[in-house]
Chains A and B, each alone.
Chain A
Amino acid sequence: MKNKSRLLLIAILCVLASASCKKFTEVGPPKNQLVTSKVFADSADANSAIAGIYVDMYQSFGFGFASGGLTAYPGYSADEFKQNSNDADMNQFFDDKIDINNSYNAILWSSAYKYIYDANACIEGLSGNSKMSPTAKASLTGEARQIRAFLYFNMVNLYGQVPLVRVTDYKITQSQPNAPVDSIYAQIISDLSFAQANLPKNSKAERANYYSANSLLAKVQLYRKNYQAAENAANLVINSGNYHLEPDPNNVFLAGSTEAIWKIIPVFPGFETWEGYNFVPSDPTATPQYVLDNSLVNSFEAGDLRKADWIASNTISGISYPYPYKYKAATTSGAPTENYMLIRLAEVYLIRAEARADQNNLSGAVSDINTVRNRAGLPNLTATDQVNILLAIEKERRSEMFCEWGNRWFDLIRTNRADAVLQPIKPNWSHNSILYPIPAVEIKSNPALKQNQGYN
């Protein structure tokens, strides 16, 4: 009957409309993404999560925390670069008077904590997983913890009492206050000890391993003035025989460098390291954007190969503009020819030299210094007393480690030499300049956070 079919029609439609209402609104993750729990279900995916941190650290086009920023900004703050820019924010680093709203400073801070989050997410993800073999799990966890230690080491030296974030839960992390420097270092040492205990003893420098964990530990212990521990850790690296100083300084930063202990292979297709890209001007007639300070250029001893090989200059209208030339290439048509050094053997020698000198093992110190000097084409050191040897180490570090990871800036501060060296050349210098300000936006969004002294 007609009426029957009408009613049936309504009934069917009503059922259709109400059924599957609940099911209808369920969606999975987007097709180009993975649910976090799946990422840590097997070691291949978990390994990709670790690889992702390296990509994150090196994919930014500008100077990020781990992609040249820690060379450029502390380079300005110390006595490595001279001011050569109309960029007000950049000049604030040079003037050692950084505004709390400085945009580069904000990028340094936020990018570091993003990478720390990446590492924490891996550590948490791996700890919740039971299917992976314990060795694989411990090794990947060790790598994440080593990355975290590396980041905190740089943060604590730039900013002092930074929040010590070890989890991903925003309900906890959003209101974490400044942590005492000692507890940050305690965490760094704990992370590196874990890494040391669990990372493989291979020499694949592009990923964290046993040796890079020890190298970092040596550096951290030196900064903490635990000289014996620093020396012990350095010994494990140097005595392993896995690494050798490249005889030619020009080869130190190449992909095949035998002194690379931990490095990042550039990830951006077609580009070499960001330092090569930003420091090296594109043609001989261009003024470099980052010009080395004369005091640095003039500090090299005569015949130092590092000055000849690691510094280049453009001459424009009769004026010479020296620039860093450790990394020499900007772009590539294939795989990167240069790799970005996080820590290399020469630094480990210098760490051990300083640790030995501080323990009064002067001959051991001199021997390590000479290893580095000889590679640079320089004769053995003549100094014999502790004070002069330590000064020689400071100078040697300046020559060897200039424009690398803010080493010069950190050295001046940790040895309390910053006031003496920088006061005369920076009119705005104050002792508070040894720490960068915590970005204003951070202070604003976390009321528990206290600003460093001297900034408002």
Chain B
Amino acid sequence: MNLNAIKMAKPEAWPPPIHTLFARSISIRNLPALKSILMRINSIKLLLIIGLLQASASVVFGQVTLKESHAPLEKVLHIIEKQTGYVFLYTGKDVQSLTVSVEVSNVPVNEALDKCLKDLPLSYKVLDKNILLKRKEVAPLPQNKPANPIDKNIRGNVVDTTGAAIPNATITVKNSSFSSTADNKGEFTLTVQDNAILVISSIGFESKEVALSSEYNLRVVLHQSMSKLDEVHVIAYGTSTQRISVGSISKVTSTDIQQQPVTNPLAVLEGRVPGLSITASSGIPGSSFTVQIRGQNTLNSALGSLAPKDQPLFIIDGVPFAAQNDNLNQFQSVMSPGLGVYYNNRYGGVSPFNSINPADIESIEVLKDADATAIYGSRGGNGVILVTTKKGKIGKTGLDITVDDGISTVPKAMPMMNTQEYLAMRREAFANDKLTPSNIVGNRAYAPDLTVFDQNRYTDWRENFIGNTAHHLNTNAAVSGGNENTQFRIAGGFNQDTYIFPGDYKDNRASFSSNIHHSSNDKKFTLDFTTNYSYDANNSSSSLNLLTAFKLEPNYPDPLDSYGNLIWNYKGASLTGSYAGLNPMTFLKQGYSVTNTSLNANLLLSYQLFRGLTFRTNTGYGTFGSNEFSSFPIVAQNPAYNPTASANFGTNDLMTWIIEPQLEYKNSFKKAIYTILAGGTFQKKSDNTTQVQGSGYINDDLLNSISGSATQIASDQSTLYKYTAIFARFNVRWDGKYIVDLNARRDGSSRFGPDRQFGNFGSAAAGWIFSEEKFIKKQLPILIYGKLRASYGITGSDQIGDYNFISRYAPTSYSYNGTLGYLPQNLANDQFGWATTKKLEIGLELGFVQDRLLLSSSWYRNRSGNQLISYLLPDQSGFNSVIKNSPALVQNTGWEFTLQAKIITHKDFSWNTSLNATIPRNKLLAFPGLATSSYSTTYLIGRPVGEILGFKSAGVNPTTGLFQFYDATGKIVATPKAPSGNSLNDFYDLGSRDPKFYGGLANNISYKNVQLSFFFEYRKQLGINYLSQLYGTPGGEINQPEALIDSHWKSPGDNASFQKYAAVYGPAATALANYKRSDGVYSDASYLRLKTVSVSYLILSKVLSKMDVKSLRVYVNAQNIFTITGYKGNDPETQNFYGVPTLRTITGGLQLTF
């Protein structure tokens, strides 16, 4: 920093150094950093940064009173500035050594100036709030050729190819350090030398150089950039491009979305974004996905179950999505199998994102590092996903209609035994157990399948229950258009997916979205109003047993009698008692339905207060309402028991609103273009649920009515969450080469106890576009773009439930002998506070051959400490967990790569490809007190938090035919010892199920009017195989996969991989239970999947245009075409043997554009 410059700003520093231009304003004085930059401005090239100077806020323009005698002119000017708020602009040498004598009292500024400058060689001009002092022109220069370049005032406006104004474009003067910004209407005025070359640039457009000629009024047309680098992406409270961004941001566009015949926007992200891991829980329409950005930061909250994932923050059009990616279901259904042990996913359920129509989405941005997410503060600790819906564009009103129709099937499944194989297994099992199958109920050897059922009957129950073809229908229509001031888009869509189960199950969604953008004529005021509404009704079965129905004995009798009624007895064998033999049709009769309505509305108002200074407010409102119903009708029960029916009714209403006032100041100074953003957030979220259980219905027709039941039990839940923050962001780009981005914020959350509510967070990031350096340009001309970026920051998290710091009691659902009961609800802890994640990222981005090859790579390291977890406690504490800050420190590191190439860019033939890869690593860095904690035998320091600890299988004992294991010393034992105390005993470290690497490969090929796209997804990982999900002990009265026939132990001496069959409970069951906790049930689940193929043909014909049709596109889209995998099971993604794997869908469609 120039010390003179600092002094100079103070009155006692008179007189100021020679050849220094300075401009003063109140606001500048308050910003020391800016001030020092300003002080360095070279006086020779006089150019005024009008916008900046106009920012002189918070003073009143008043009258002038002066009484000076032979005072330095600068001192007088300074006094006038103080009194009036006007700011003088001048070259230092022009005013140095000039003195004035003046006496005025309460006169307007122009009068005072007239008097001051009367005898001086200076003239003045009032420009808005500035006063420009210039030397009086002594004599005109010769007309023909100027000896020296002279300054001239030019005006200009910047427009795009459609003629619409491009607001806030940056105008720099080549080979100089001057720059300016156009206003909202794209207009600018400059004083430059007449031989200057102007460079005009704006986000999303190709920069343009304009040489000044005699034109004083410039019209600059910028072309939309075709380079990926200049593609606009949405960031927190603004937009940016890859070229100038220093954060880690990935984008998926509507083009990628529309190629996929899926109903859930989360599905389209799979494999497309480095660092983002998305896994389907099931192939059932509307079912949920787990979403995680850059690994699990927190410890698992529940032992022995599937870990909950750290979820990113989801923002739709600036409003946090009310439902986020949470499981909102209160009742069990085939979509939310609940707390089952191996074969299902407790985090299933209906995906709230199924309420968002992918056809309405313009882009999805995934923000990953501290720089990109810091502005969302504590809510963005696990990354942020921004969904932006489509907006109207200037132009003739157009109509776009798409219709597509197709089918879905289960791609591949392991075959189950047929009747002969099954009965052979059963007989072998009874022989092993030295028992004779009996037809006597209650006998240990009771086996109706061998003694009562038809020995030749065969039904492929899988084919019956999940082998059907589902139907997919999707139609969308959108009207959009607008003029320069107002644009709109209104769209509606309808989607229907049926199930692969028999029965009239389907998921119907109707959606409506609208957007209006308006700006005033002077472009100072803009308004954006967006609403997305959807209604989704999904009905299926509440019976989880439906998912496992195909384990039924293959010789089970026809479940329906000749009248179509369910049978309950077959030749004396009860079909109600033991579970294995329950009539499977009851599963189809148990109803479940959920209807979700989702509304997301956002109003963004923006007003330019002064040039460069904009006040904005983002107001959002979102609701997500869920109505659930599940029933257990009489028809699903044995009439002999005089059954009554029961039904559950549930509602879940989520509401969120958010208000975010912001002030943004954008300007440029010399070679710097900078933005200052300051704002606040107020957010409130409430969730109210009710549940009513009706029982004692005597008629199934009344099941939909609460009052139709004999008794009702009601309960409700209610939570309220409030969040507030203030934040500031400073971003500066210098000379198109250096970028600095700083964020700071203070967050408050209602989830913490008093004195723990507020936390401070921030980030700093810097980027260096080294390809702009002269020496790089000279040495490495092949490199057209190169950027090195780094960011570091601290984000927080309050991702725990509400009210955990308050010790609470709640009324019980039932009273005790007329007295209402109260029960404790939690173990309260008022000491927990913000969790923190420290994020570090370094990125390198390179572009070669005119942007045709872009490589971006990044390395990140996230460290989460002070995590908020549901800390496990033994049941003796009354509750099995308490919310507290965990002492553990978890680290996620990883590499991410994206390679984008335009292989062929011919007019008629083009081929683009994009490859991405992520190599994540997760590690528990530290856990003080681990040995004495409840996690002593769950985690290992230095290993991933998802590390599996279990027995080590030693195959099957050839003599006993039972699984055997290695003990801790490596000795083979029949029964290994489970952990106790803080000793792992015979548990080994079996590795982790976290992916080793994953990613995707996309290809887009177009030839004239034909477009072909295909997308591969790949993942290298360890998974659980089908053996972990075997139902019962093979040999029991349950059908098993055919694969066991060859692999199981048959007689002494066999070296088999699977143990012997057993008909009844005994040592085989214990050995299998241990085996299911061993490495035997984990195996490679890596896969390469052709996930999407899309072919389309665009028809442009005269016939069509006569019908006012602009274009017709015919297309075929397919999803999950094939998978290359060595996985032992059905689907390496869902890894559910009994669930529904992700389906294969093929659709054909038409797109009509009017």
Which residues of A are interface residues toward B (Cβ below 8 A)?
A: 1, 3-4, 6-7, 9-10, 13, 16-18, 21-22, 24-27, 29-37, 39, 45, 47-49, 51-56, 59, 82-86, 88, 91, 99-101, 109-110, 113-114, 116-118, 120-121, 162-163, 165, 168, 170, 173-176, 206, 265, 267-270, 282-283, 285-287, 291, 316-317, 319, 321, 333, 439-451, 456
B672-728 contacts to A (CB < 8 Å)? 679-680, 682, 695-696, 710-711, 713, 716-724, 726
Are B661 and A17 in contact (CB-based, < 8 A)? Answer: yes
Are B822 and A39 in contact (CB-based, < 8 A)? Answer: yes
Say yes or no for B2: interface residue by CB 8 A criterion. no
Contacts of B610 in A (CB 8 A): 6
Cα A37 to Cα B1069 in complex, Å, equals 50
Cα A25 to Cα B753 in complex, Å, equals 10
Contacts of A270 in B (CB 8 A): 695-696, 710-711
Cα A273 to Cα B873 in complex, Å, equals 32
**Nearest 8 A/B pairs, CB to CB:** A117-B878, A52-B821, A445-B934, A110-B875, A446-B874, A55-B821, A17-B680, A36-B807
Are A59 and B814 in contact (CB-based, < 8 A)? Answer: yes
Among residues of B, the one whose C-beta sits closest to the C-beta of A267 is: B814
Given contacts A31-B718, A32-B811, A270-B696, 18 further A-B contacts (CB under 8 A): A9-B609, A29-B803, A30-B720, A51-B819, A53-B821, A86-B580, A101-B1073, A114-B875, A162-B876, A168-B827, A170-B882, A173-B877, A174-B873, A265-B817, A283-B641, A442-B875, A445-B875, A449-B981
Are A25 and B808 in contact (CB-based, < 8 A)? Answer: no
Q: In the complex, identify which listed stretch (B57-65, B850-858, B950-958) lies at the interface while the others stay far away.
A: B57-65
Inter-chain CB contacts under 8 Å: number: 278
Say yes or no for B979: interface residue by CB 8 A criterion. yes
Cα A36 to Cα B609 in complex, Å, equals 52
Contact with B981, one of A121, A269, A439, A443 (Cβ below 8 angstroms): A443
Contact with B814, one of A6, A18, A27, A269 (Cβ below 8 angstroms): A269
- In the complex, 25 of the A-B residue pairs with CB atoms within 8 angstroms, ordered by the A residue number, are A3-B61, A9-B609, A9-B615, A10-B609, A16-B661, A25-B722, A25-B724, A25-B749, A25-B757, A33-B809, A37-B807, A49-B809, A51-B820, A53-B823, A56-B821, A165-B877, A168-B824, A170-B873, A283-B641, A441-B304, A442-B876, A445-B934, A447-B936, A448-B932, A450-B981
Are A268 and B814 in contact (CB-based, < 8 A)? Answer: yes
Contacts of A114 in B (CB 8 A): 875, 878-879
Cα A162 to Cα B874 in complex, Å, equals 12
Say yes or no for B1036: interface residue by CB 8 A criterion. yes
Contact with A447, one of B819, B882, B982 (Cβ below 8 angstroms): B982
Instruction: Scan B1068-1095; emit 1 where CB is below 8 A from any A CB, else 0.
Output: 0110010000000000000000000000
Are A30 and B803 in contact (CB-based, < 8 A)? Answer: yes
Query: Known interface pairs A54-B821, A443-B980, A446-B934. Does A113 touch B716 (Cβ–Cβ under 8 Å)?
Result: no
Contacts of A319 in B (CB 8 A): 440-442
Query: Known interface pairs A117-B879, A118-B824, A445-B874. Does A32 touch B718 (Cβ–Cβ under 8 Å)?
Result: yes
Query: Known interface pairs A174-B934, A269-B814, A446-B934. Does A22 touch B748 (Cβ–Cβ under 8 Å)?
Result: yes
Say yes or no for B536: interface residue by CB 8 A criterion. no
Instruction: Scan B51-78; emit 1 where CB is below 8 A from any A CB, else 0.
Output: 0000001101100000000000000000
Among residues of B, the one whose C-beta sits closest to the C-beta of A1 is: B61
Cα A447 to Cα B935 in complex, Å, equals 9
Are A456 and B816 in contact (CB-based, < 8 A)? Answer: no
In the assembled complex, the CB of A451 is this many whole angstroms from the nearest CB of chain B, namely 6
Contact with B931, one of A16, A163, A447 (Cβ below 8 angstroms): A447
In the assembled complex, the CB of B976 is this many whole angstroms from the nearest CB of chain A, namely 9
Are B810 and A33 in contact (CB-based, < 8 A)? Answer: yes
Are B814 and A440 in contact (CB-based, < 8 A)? Answer: no
Contacts of A283 in B (CB 8 A): 640-642
Cα A176 to Cα B817 in complex, Å, equals 35
Contacts of B873 in A (CB 8 A): 170, 173-174, 445
Cα A270 to Cα B713 in complex, Å, equals 10
In the assembled complex, the CB of A146 is this many whole angstroms from the nearest CB of chain B, namely 16
Are B934 and A444 in contact (CB-based, < 8 A)? Answer: yes
B774-815 contacts to A (CB < 8 Å)? 802-803, 806-815
Instruction: Scan B80-106; emit 1 where CB is below 8 A from any A CB, else 0.
Output: 000000000000000000000000000
| Interface range on chain B (Cβ under 8 Å from partner) | 35 or more
Q: In the complex, identify which listed stretch (B223-231, B357-365, B570-578, B859-867) lies at the interface while the others stay far away.
A: B570-578
Cα A445 to Cα B806 in complex, Å, equals 24
Say yes or no for B263: interface residue by CB 8 A criterion. no
B842-899 contacts to A (CB < 8 Å)? 872-880, 882
Among residues of B, the one whose C-beta sits closest to the C-beta of A316 is: B441
Are B878 and A113 in contact (CB-based, < 8 A)? Answer: yes
Among residues of B, the one whose C-beta sits closest to the C-beta of A172 is: B877
Contacts of B931 in A (CB 8 A): 447
Among residues of B, the one whose C-beta sits closest to the C-beta of A34 is: B809
In the assembled complex, the CB of A345 is this many whole angstroms from the nearest CB of chain B, namely 21
Contacts of A9 in B (CB 8 A): 609, 615
Instruction: Scan B1058-1072; emit 1 where CB is below 8 A from any A CB, else 0.
Output: 000000010001100
Cα A176 to Cα B981 in complex, Å, equals 13
Contact with B724, one of A1, A21, A121 (Cβ below 8 angstroms): A21
Contacts of A51 in B (CB 8 A): 815-817, 819-822
Contact with B876, one of A34, A113, A267, A291 (Cβ below 8 angstroms): A113
Contacts of A84 in B (CB 8 A): 442
Query: Known interface pairs A21-B724, A59-B814, A441-B303. Does A109 touch B875 (Cβ–Cβ under 8 Å)?
Result: yes
Contacts of A99 in B (CB 8 A): 1070, 1073
B37-61 contacts to A (CB < 8 Å)? 57-58, 60-61
Say yes or no for B825: interface residue by CB 8 A criterion. yes
Contacts of B578 in A (CB 8 A): 85-86
In the assembled complex, the CB of A287 is this many whole angstroms from the nearest CB of chain B, namely 5
Among residues of B, the one whose C-beta sits closest to the C-beta of A168 is: B878
Say yes or no for B937: interface residue by CB 8 A criterion. yes
In the assembled complex, the CB of A434 is this many whole angstroms from the nearest CB of chain B, namely 20
Which of A6, A88, A116, A333 has the most B CB atoms < 10 Å from its CB? A88
Are B641 and A48 in contact (CB-based, < 8 A)? Answer: no
Say yes or no for B185: interface residue by CB 8 A criterion. no
Contacts of A21 in B (CB 8 A): 680, 724, 726, 748
Cα A109 to Cα B875 in complex, Å, equals 8
Contacts of B979 in A (CB 8 A): 443-444
Contact with B877, one of A29, A174, A265 (Cβ below 8 angstroms): A174
